[in-house]
């Protein structure tokens, strides 16, 4: 049986195709401005990769912020449920998931059966999200993918005290002006994100094993800073951006 899951996020559109629960195709695309068109493109790409035809699929689950922009989806499911499902599939014992995406961060607690027991979310402010990091990377003339290497070059981070993204950006520009080394600024930014995500996470009673998902989990600098902030060991899946889409496809398989 073939099932598909599409996660249309504010930054990335992720799609997976499963054959009897086994991943046979996946794609990660920038969501761009036309979410419907990107969803359609991601869909065609996984069908081609998996050598499948649309007619073979009965259930297609869409999730993420843009989940209602997927006209061919048979069902829409919240990102919380899909992330929980995907996380448990790759890490069967996981009890807490911290997802740091482009425009929000969420912390999900799972019970011993894998059901969502509780969650908290920050979707009001860019601080503690991928967007914050993107703005700062731009100010520092670095690609987001280059940040973790830069972080490794610093022994300690610069102090970034503003919580607001706009003020923090001014602070970064002023640190650049003062001649503070770029790696030190980058480490300071990672610590600032970790502190924001950490305070969100501490609102729940955190239990290990703890998994970090979402695009920001691709940045080991943030993951290391967050582990230090929480004093807990953090696991990261091989493809942290695919967890929601994987969960969506697994839910599709249950339907
Ligand atoms: N290669 C990379 N290295 C480091 N960070 C990355 C990389 N790719 C993406 N990111 C970060 O991940 C963020 C996007 O995360 P993700 O793809 O999970 O967002 P999303 O699911 O679209 O957003 P949301 O769930 O908030 O709607 C970017 O803003 C960026 O900061
Ligand atoms: Mg997301």
Residue-wise pLDDT for 52-92, tens only, equals: 999 999 899 999 999 999 999 999 999 999 999 999 999 99
- Testing ligand 1's pocket by substitution, the residue of 86, 107, 130 carrying the most ligand atoms inside 8 A of its CB is 130
Buried b (16+ CB within 10 A) or exposed e, 40-66: bebbebbbeebebeeeebebbbbbbbb
Name the percent of the chain lying above pLDDT 90: 96
Each residue of 152-199: pLDDT tens digit? 999 999 999 998 999 999 999 999 999 999 999 999 999 999 999 999
Residues by chain with Cβ below 5 Å of ion ligand 2: 9, 101
Region 1-91+241-255: CATH code: 3.30.420.40
Per-residue pLDDT at 140 exceeds 90? yes
The reported pLDDT for the residue numbered 255 is 87
Provide the mean pLDDT of the chain: 96
**Start and end residues for every CATH 3.30.420.40 domain found in the chain:** 1-91+241-255, 93-236
Q: Whose CA is nearest to atom 30 of ligand 1?
A: 130
Residue list, ligand 1 pocket, CB within 6 Å: 9-12, 31, 64-65, 101-104, 130-131, 133-134, 144-145, 214-216, 218-219, 241
How close is the Cα of 11 to the center of ligand 1, in Å? 6
CATH 3.30.420.40 fits 93-236, yes or no: yes
Q: Write down the pTM of the prediction.
A: 0.97
Q: Which residues 6+ apart lie within 8 Å of 110 measured at CB? A: 84, 87, 88, 94, 95, 96, 97, 116, 117
Angle CA 64–70–76, to nearest 5: 55
The reported pLDDT for the residue numbered 163 is 87
């Amino acid at each position: 049986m073939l099932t598909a899951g599409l996660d249309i996020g504010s930054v990335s559109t992720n799609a997976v195709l499963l054959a009897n629960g086994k991943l046979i195709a996946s794609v990660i695309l920038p969501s761009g401005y036309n979410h419907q068109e990107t969803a359609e493109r991601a869909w065609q790409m996984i069908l081609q990769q998996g050598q499948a035809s649309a007619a073979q699929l009965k259930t297609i689950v869409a999730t993420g912020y843009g989940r209602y922009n997927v006209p061919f989806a048979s069902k829409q499911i919240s990102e919380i449920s899909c992330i929980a499902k995907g996380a448990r599939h790759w890490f069967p014992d996981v009890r807490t998931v911290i997802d740091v995406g482009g425009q929000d961060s969420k912390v999900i607690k799972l019970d011993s059966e894998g059901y969502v027991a509780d969650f908290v979310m920050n979707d009001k402010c860019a601080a503690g999200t991928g967007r914050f990091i993107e703005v700062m990377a731009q100010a520092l003339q670095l690609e987001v993918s280059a940040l973790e290497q830069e972080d490794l070059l610093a022994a300690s981070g610069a102090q970034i005290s503003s919580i607001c993204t706009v003020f923090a950006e001014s602070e970064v520009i002023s640190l650049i002006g003062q001649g503070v080394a770029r790696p030190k600024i980058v480490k300071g930014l990672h610590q600032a994100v970790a502190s924001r995500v950490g305070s969100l996470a501490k609102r729940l009673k955190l239990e290990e094993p703890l998994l970090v998902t979402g695009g920001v989990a691709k940045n080991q600098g943030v993951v290391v800073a967050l582990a230090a902030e929480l004093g807990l060991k953090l696991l990261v899946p091989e493809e942290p951006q695919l967890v929601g889409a994987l969960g969506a496809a697994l839910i599709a398989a249950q339907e």
